[in-house]
Amino acid sequence: MDLAPARFASIDTTHRCPLRCRHCYYYRVEPEGEDLPPGNFLEALRAWRESTAADCMLWLGGEPFLRPNVVVEGSRLFRRNAAFTSGLVSVPEDFPGGVAISLDGPAEANDSLRGRGMFQVALDRCDGGRDRLFHCTLTAGNLAAAGPLVDCLRRADAAGVLFGLYTPRVDEEGGFALSREDRDAAVDGLLTLREEHDGFVLNTPASLERMRWEETRITAARCPYRTGEAVALDHRLREKLPCSYGEGADCTRCGCVALFLGVAAADGDGASREVLRAFFRRR
């Protein structure tokens, strides 16, 4: 099995998920093949890790914690780890990385994308959200939900929230895709929320400014997946192109929060660097 070298990687631990979110990038192209057995998966990952300088892994899916033992065992191969989860399954206590629970607004907005009742289920399974980190993807349909979500999570004593933007496919227009006006309005709104909730809205001003329509194409050219510093692997450890968003993603309209934080950090923004360090926890 030939695996590309990189310092950073993201991996689809499984192609399975308890949800089929309407805006989710993962099932826009149906994953091919069943999950590798745990032993084969870890053996191949270990071989790749030993042949590269990789020290940082982002665990994705599907829902990564449907295979908790694979994630925990695999995380021991890397110095830093983080994961995104639906919040619908338990997070292993011995997972050493940062964990972001995906919600897309307060109950009504979230459930319109993730399914009836899923907002409350996610909160119920994580102690009401107390001391948890959340992630919200803003689309053309839920821009107004950002503020109410922040208010809701603050009342729940959450640790904070990060916002990403919907990444469309090439030539995708309308629907969930953000227009130029939508995108810049989202950035303006998030900058205001950041001022009102400093320390809770974790997107930094430097990273948000790079999310603007005119800046995104410039920032995307520095994406580690494009420069060869990062590689995305699927549930059978095949390389995904251009990144974890998979075939057809429009890099010129990328909304990945890690990209913008990473570029801001590389340009010397200490606040962005600290957010990444806190999320990608060191073992």
Closest CA to 42 of 73, 3, 65, 10: 73
Percent of the chain with pLDDT over 90: 93
- Interval 259-268: pLDDT, tens: 999 999 999 9
Q: How far apart are CA 88 and CA 102, in angstroms?
A: 10
Using only the alpha carbons of the chain, give its radius of gyration.
Answer: 18
- CB-neighbour burial class of residue 170 (10 A; exposed 0-12, middle 13-18, buried 19+): exposed
Which long-range contacts link 246-250 to residues 24+ away (Cβ below 8 Å)? 246/25, 246/26, 246/28, 246/29, 247/29, 248/28, 248/29, 248/169, 248/170, 249/25, 249/167, 249/168, 249/169, 249/170, 250/167, 250/168, 250/169, 250/170, 250/171, 250/172
- Interval 180-239: pLDDT, tens: 999 999 999 999 999 999 899 999 999 999 999 999 999 999 999 999 999 999 999 999
pLDDT of residue 25: 94
Side-chain-facing half-sphere of 282: CA atoms under 13 Å: 3
* 2 falls within a domain: no
The residue type at 44? A
The residue type at 9? A
For the residues 85-91, what does the mean pLDDT come to? 96
Number of domains in the chain: 1
* 3 falls within a domain: no
Closest CA to 208 of 157, 141, 269: 269
pLDDT of residue 7: 85
- Interval 138-192: pLDDT, tens: 999 999 999 999 999 999 999 999 999 999 999 999 999 999 999 999 999 999 9
- Interval 33-72: pLDDT, tens: 999 999 999 999 999 898 887 899 999 999 999 999 999 9
**Residue 96's domain is classified under what CATH number?**
3.20.20.70
Q: Which two tokens stand for residue 29?
A: 């192209």
Give start and end residues of each alpha helix (H) in 169-256. 180-196, 205-209, 213-220, 224-227
4 pLDDT band, cuts 50/70/90, is: low
Q: Which residue has the higher pLDDT, 29 or 63?
A: 63
* 166 falls within a domain: yes
Q: What is the pTM of this model?
A: 0.95
> CA 70: distance to chain centroid?
19
pLDDT for 30 beyond 90? no
pLDDT for 3 beyond 60? no
6 pLDDT band, cuts 50/70/90, is: confident
pLDDT of residue 51: 83
pLDDT of residue 1: 46
* 1 falls within a domain: no
Closest CA to 183 of 166, 204, 171: 166
Supply the mean pLDDT for the chain: 95
Give start and end residues of each alpha helix (H) in the chain. 38-50, 68-75, 107-114, 118-124, 146-155, 180-196, 205-209, 213-220, 224-227, 257-266, 270-279
Q: Cβ neighbours of residue 51 under 8 Å, at least 6 residues apart? A: 3, 5
Domain extent, residue 178, equals 8-282
pLDDT of residue 198: 82
Query: Quick one: DSSP state of residue 201?
Result: B
